[in-house]
Amino acid sequence: MYDPSFEHDSCGFGLIANLDDNASHWVVETAIAALKRLTHRGVVAADGKTGDGCGLLIKFPESFLRALGTELGLQLDERFAAGMVFLNQDEKLAEKVRYEIDTGIQSSGLDVAGWREIAVHPEVCGELALRTLPRIEQVFVNAPAGMARGAFNLALFLARRRAENRFQAIDPIAYIASLSSATIIYKGMVMADVLPEFYPDLRDSRLKSSVCIFHQRFSTNTLPEWRLAQPFRFLAHNGEINTIRGNRNWALVRARNFRSENLPDLSDLYPIISLTGSDSMSLDNMLEVMRAAGMDVLQAMRILIPPAWQAMDTLDPDVRAFYEFFDCQIEPWDGPAGIVLTDGRYAVCCLDRNGLRPARYVITNDRHITIASEIGVYDYDDSQVVRKGRFGPGEMLAVDLENGVLLETDDIHDELKS
């Protein structure tokens, strides 16, 4: 029988990023084209149009979202964020959830600039997807003058978690897919080839980004849901977290001992990870808590999904000390797992220490890197290829978008010990 605790995924994933952080609509278009070539990695219902879910995680397209806000007459300040929200089709329930989200945002010292109902084309959805199709809206949020981006995103995280805890009892269907000034998500229970038809925003040439994560979901032992389509707020995952029950339990038990200057009190954020979503969702929850506490994603992912460091005789002693210290604090989230992620600063791919989920990369002379669970997700001429390869067990590759640098496993280890 079905049990939510059995949620696992085995999917197709990838990312495309410009090494110099130059935004373009081409990156979004190419990610969509790559996603379409991963359709075979998903499941199709008997109606021929409903899938397990697919989507894109895009580095914040500020100029595009600002233009949309201006068209709606919204006053967007110098620093603003946008959230993607799945609401109930029942307007009374939707309004109650909007109120809780607005309250959570305002109680965190931020200003709600307004809401936008996103234009979608439900005719591309299958019968099963239509039964649970949410009302999809965006909320725009202004930061106080002078607030740093890191502090702003922390306030957004706290606002979202508080709002979620309040509206869960009102409408368990409601879901905040993303709320950030660094990234935004477009996803749903549609086939990959119609995602840009469902979301006309994705076809708008003004939507430009330097990083785009793409994911085609194939769930195992689970029922499709709009909220479970990937990517999640930071990552997309191919594989299964086979230690998920222990990881969830230990995270809950140790939550009261988690402390940082950024998060001195977690009491109003409990539970810190989802117990009813997929294993991928719980991993994403854990990553965002660690990120909110002040860790960068490179450090957090090396803690959550470490290499087999105990057997690495030539490992730098300082790096070994890093792994030994955090091994006492948190257990590895073991796969098989392949992960792609972005927080707007880094674009990252890593494999767990088992290395049983394939990932390959290609770097072209136009300074773009493409990483995917299989080769051939988009067309390029061999003469354009500067470098290509595959990931081995425990390896990590990251694009430092701020400095235009490609970081390999040893480079990341140097970062960890510095």
Measure the CA–CA gap between 182 and 16, rounded to whole angstroms.
Answer: 16
Contact between 159 and 109 under an 8 Å Cβ cutoff? The reply is no
Q: What is the DSSP track for 178-215?
A: EEESSEEEEEESS-GGGHHHH-GGGG-TT--BSEEEEE
Contact between 87 and 94 under an 8 Å Cβ cutoff? The reply is yes
Question: What residues contact 335, with CB distance under 8 A and at least 6 apart?
Answer: 239, 240, 241, 242, 305, 351, 352, 354, 356, 357
The residues assigned a catalytic role are 11
Burial of 35: CB neighbours in 10 Å, binned 0-12, 13-18, 19+ = buried
Task: With H, G, I as helix, E, B as strand and everything else as coil, classify residue 117.
Answer: strand
Residues linked to residue 339 through DSSP beta bridges, in sequence order:
237, 350
